[in-house]
Amino acid sequence: MVDFGAIGGMFLKPAISKVAEAISKAILSEFNKKFNPTELEQYIQSGITAAKEKYPHGPFLYYELERLDHFLVEVLKYSGVHKELEKPLKDEGAPDIPNLIEAFKKVAGQLKIELNEDKLERWISVFADTYFQQTPLYSIDYKNAKEDYLKKLISHLEKLRLIGIDVPATERDRIEELENIFVMPDIQQEEHHRQNSTFSPEKLLTQSSSEKSFDKLVLLGEPGSGKSTLMQYFALKIAKRQFQELGLSAEIDWLPILIEIRELGKQSENYILEHLQKSIASKYSIKIPNGFFDYWFKRGKVVILLDGLDEIADSHKRREIIQHIYTLFQQKSYASNKVIITSRPAGYERDYFQTQDFPHYYIQLFDEPKIHLFLDKWYANKIRFPDSHESEKQKNDLRTILQKKERIKLLARNPFLLTIIALLHRYEGFRLPQRRHKLYEKAVETLLVNWEQSKFGDSQQSSPIAKLQYVISIT
């Protein structure tokens, strides 16, 4: 194999040394920081070597080996390249690949060299990433920030807190290990919504048609159907780097981001990157270096889960957020990331996201096997039910109730209401069938009042009959 890193090294080495010296002086004078030019030479050389090894023919339209190093010498002299290489040394983030591409094109134009656009972007991406990953900003700050963030995210998500459930229960009954209790719902694509063609959400992030794969999608589901819990589960699995369980490539070190859209809506500006840079550091009490999230987004390594579009009550504000989401992830620099947006169908307008760019899916209510699986997991909790004999007895009793009482079973298809039923059965026991109307009342009030208050701090009043009709209609 030809050692392209060595070929022409006699031309490149002096150029790299001069660049390193110039950058060191600029940073020393402007920021009072001192960098060893020898280390900078190594950073730049590592980037060039990595790009040459991966794309040995370089970015030229017509490859000429003897001109590659001469071309790189001229590129490294260009002030626009210096500016980008200085960024990580000034704690300003990674070199901007589009800016480097423009710099390469400008030098190529002056030298009358034809470049291959596709090869150029790939070559520069490898060079810039490898260079950046040698710098202290990445090797120390970015890597540490990512690990700290993932640890905090796991700690935040691994416990499922049953908020807004106004039934008698101890605190331990309101907290579950997410992975222990979670039951994967079925998903159905919009065009097959009234057909019997469902699939498991593990395939959601890798859905494709005969024409293209879909990295961005909308997931619709009724209140209590488990949209938020599914998003939490996805984020937890990715944070634990269990990528293959969700069908994601294990070759990419994905970064999960979970945003409750109502939090985004509280800002005067709806910009996702600015929101993340400010909110994550304060939410998890960790240091997030400048450009951290932008770096991962521009590398196409993010799975961003935007939960609860319907929770933006102001229609104008909702439209602004939709436009920002759509515009951001249609940009070439950000288009390679995975995006899921969730919403209730009620109030969702069909023109929010075009289905050719954001295909739409529906989360399905539980069928009987999934109800039984939930009960198996619920009663397997040794903290809640230390006596396995009593646990089995209660589980069988509740199953019998659901078999005999069709209206209660109908409510139980909704995961949130099923949780309420399980809690009520635990504390009201065998009286549950005789108090069916109380169950309806408690389920309706929890779903449409207490749960909403826990999320928004306020609720609109409507008649119990109207609420009951609503619950029955969604199940």
Q: 91-112: per-residue pLDDT in tens?
A: 899 999 999 999 999 999 998 8
* Better pLDDT: 11 or 284: 284
| pLDDT number for residue 276 | 93
| pLDDT number for residue 278 | 87
292 and 253 part of one domain: yes
Q: Is the pLDDT of residue 197 over 60?
A: yes
Residue at 336 is within a domain: yes
455 and 351 part of one domain: no
301 and 413 part of one domain: no
- The rounded distance, in Å, linking the Cα atoms of 231 and 101 is 36
Q: Is the pLDDT of residue 166 over 80?
A: no
36 and 129 part of one domain: yes
Q: Give the range with max mean pLDDT: 171-185, 194-208, 361-375, 451-465.
A: 361-375
Q: Give the range with max mean pLDDT: 264-268, 415-419, 441-445, 470-474.
A: 415-419
Residue where a domain stops, chosen among 302, 331, 363: 363
With 0.75 as the threshold, say if the pTM is over it. yes
| pLDDT number for residue 327 | 93
346 and 242 part of one domain: yes
- Give the β-pairing of 187-189 and 338-343: unpaired
Alpha helix positions (H), 292-343:
292-298, 315-330
At residue 384 the predicted structure's pLDDT band, cuts being 50, 70 and 90, is confident
Residue where a domain stops, chosen among 95, 112, 134: 134
Residue at 88 is within a domain: yes
Q: 19-40: per-residue pLDDT in tens?
A: 777 776 766 566 556 667 788 8
**What is the mean pLDDT of the segment spanning 314-337?**
92
Percentage of residues in the chain with pLDDT exceeding 90?
46
243 and 102 part of one domain: no
| pLDDT number for residue 294 | 94
Q: Measuring CA to CA, which residue among 84, 176, 161 is closest to residue 125?
A: 84
398 and 354 part of one domain: no
242 and 189 part of one domain: yes
State the total domains in the chain. Answer: 3
Q: What CATH number should be reported for the domain holding residue 292?
A: 3.40.50.300
Residue where a domain stops, chosen among 109, 134, 159: 134
User: In terms of residue numbers, what domain contains 395?
Assistant: 368-474
Amino acid at the residue 194: R
Burial 243-267 (b: 16+ CB within 10 A, else e): beebebeeeeebbbbbbbbbebbee
Q: 136-151: per-residue pLDDT in tens?
A: 999 899 999 999 999 9
Residue at 273 is within a domain: yes
340 and 383 part of one domain: no
Q: 127-139: per-residue pLDDT in tens?
A: 999 999 999 999 8
333 and 425 part of one domain: no
36 and 97 part of one domain: yes
273 and 153 part of one domain: yes
